[in-house]
Structure 1
Amino acid sequence: MTIDLLAATFSEDPYREYDRIRDAAGVYYDKAAQSFVVADYEGVNQLVGQSAISPYSYLWEVESVEAKQPLIPGESPFILASASAPKGLPGLEGIKSIIEKNSEDLLSRISSGLRFDLVRQFSSLLPYGIFADITGISRTDIPRLQHWHAAFLDMLKNIERNPDIAVNSENSRSQMRRYFDGVSEYNDRDNAPFEWSDLGERRDPALGALLMCGGMHFEEAFARYMLYLANNKAVRKEVLSNDEVALNVLREIYRCFAPRPIIMVQNHEDILLKGIEIPKSSRINLLVSAANRDETVFSAGATPEPYAESGNGPMVFTGSQFPLSNVSNEYHVYAARVSNLIAVIASRQIFTRFSDLEFPESANWVRSRSLVAQLART
């Protein structure tokens, strides 16, 4: 058995393929990928939090103190009210107005009755404008941020360890670091919600995590969220006024359609997992997308359940629990909360501004990164 990323069945519906792999073998060794695969909920859950498991070094197979930090599950990213923020970053209440303004500015460019691309004209742009306003950087530098972010995302998908992708990602990381060095020296911080100096040595992981809350991961989650609300008007009505229901729906979208479906980790000790021996220093691909849809744990399986009990229920695995380094774990959780707040606020503004929203050509939107909506103004 193998994960064939080029297979027609995979490109048509990757989540169904993940489910097939989980049902066939919860844990196995993939000879083609030269890595172990863990696809069921029980297996993934056993590995998260183990001191012997840490994020895999996507760049080079060189061990460091940071690379050996264990995966420690962070706080839930599905919290908005009274959520605390890491030192040096603004609380969620302090950035609501920034999100509202950026969202409204983009929506004001949309005319009544015209076709509107939710991804290309809205969700692909929104997080970067918010990032610029939170940090106080110039909007003219947004294309640079988008380029660096794309390189990071390519690295996360670099399962085959292509050295060119690794080098490009490391170069982008270095360029961003130098850019932040320059910005912190000359930036007029009077208009930014935080002081750059407050972040200290954690500036790079903090801002890197905040930048990662945008891009393709946000685009896909937000698009699926909007599609679900457009097709479920009764749920949508509650989402527009109830934060708890809104977050439950978002949680279910992440559960059923994880934007980061495969997480690569490594082990520093021999592990016995469900009868399978995993030798020290192995690569392990966690199919969180399949684990999140495991019907032995989540009765709804692959179907979003907007009223699912989330407070004391099983953990839904998202990218915020699997940062590249646990040194920055709290920042990844914070960034995920910012991303969720953006989704809640922006969706409410869209459905308030437009009475009807349909997606007549939504079949291949993930591949094309284009989701066209037909809108009618209220």
Structure 2
Amino acid sequence: MCLIIDTLVLLVNSCKIGNLQNVQQELARNVLSLLYKIWKKTQPLRSSTDCNKWKNKLQSKEYDISKSIFRLSTGLAFPAWPEPDVVRKSVFGETVSDFETFVLAYWEKLPNLYRRKQATKMDSLVFVALHNAFNLGTTPDSIIESLLQGLVSCPAIASDELDINSFLHEVHDSLGDSVKYRQDIRVMRTRDPNDQTSRGCVTEEHFFDDGTVFTDEDAFIEKCKHAFKNGYSIALRGMEFRSEKVAAIASALADLFGQPSVGANIYFSPAGSQGLARHYDDHCVLVWQLLGSKKWTVWPNPKPLLPRLYEPFDPLDGNLDESSGRVEVLHEGDMMYIPRGYVHEARTDVSGSEVNDCSLHLTLAIEVEAPFE
């Protein structure tokens, strides 16, 4: 069996991407299913006797198997649901003119809030599909487990990367690696400046050290549960690569806005807490509330020019007029658009330990590339 797997891995990894796309879909799916089962048994997070048995008999390394799965998957046809039109109707309204109104009146000009109307079947289907993808409606511990179990590192890929072989060459020995702090996940809280324990400081407090690699999955999840119970939010990046439903929505939005891709992060916050400190982004965001509620404050952009992608961030003005902020509470199904450059912060104002007292939202990041100069 190990010889067959090693041969499969060698064939897939040495074959040109174009030729892999000619492999019959049913055969590719069967091979992928086998490789995925083997990969799960050899993951670095596992230290069981069964895991060590496979590692000792296989010539292929974990990252070789990960690479085979990645390469073989590129030729598979995945049903893209929801489609761009369904997402457009679900978010912006039933007609094309609703989206045109958003682009003309709000895009890169003003924040805008969309309340969930539950008026159409499609709206309900999109939201329910996304809601069900994260095991919501259970306990906070169960939600954390559903988000973090089986998690692997997700190295960033440039949106303008045209040659997938170049990307694979760059990350060939890190595919399928353990989760890395900051790159994949952040666990942080921002204390209220009026809280005596904060000493007037409003910077983010992180639960783990930068660059920490989590090789013990069970211990990692338990630490995240402990942090959550102590007011820390969990932020997981790269959801467009981790969830089929999120991937379909991100892809639909990318098509809608004419961008190469749309990023997606998940934020899970306990009651009475603030995760990220007050900040602005160099990209536009759509915030979709999936569980509970969250209070957002958004301040007008004080600068004549919007920040450009990846340019250095300016320190926030300490004299920001608190009263000038627009305050909105997002409930389940609501979505808010925040243009790049607009300072904002969010917190769960309710108190309690039930799942509905917590907040989970999906942030969809639309990076606006600078024009060619």
* More helix, by proportion: 1
- Greater RCO (Cα-Cα under 8 Å, separation 6 or more): 1
Same fold (TM over 0.5): no
* More strand, by proportion: 2
When Rg is computed on C-alpha atoms for both structures, the one with the higher figure is 2
Q: TM-score, with normalisation over the residues of structure 1?
A: 0.29
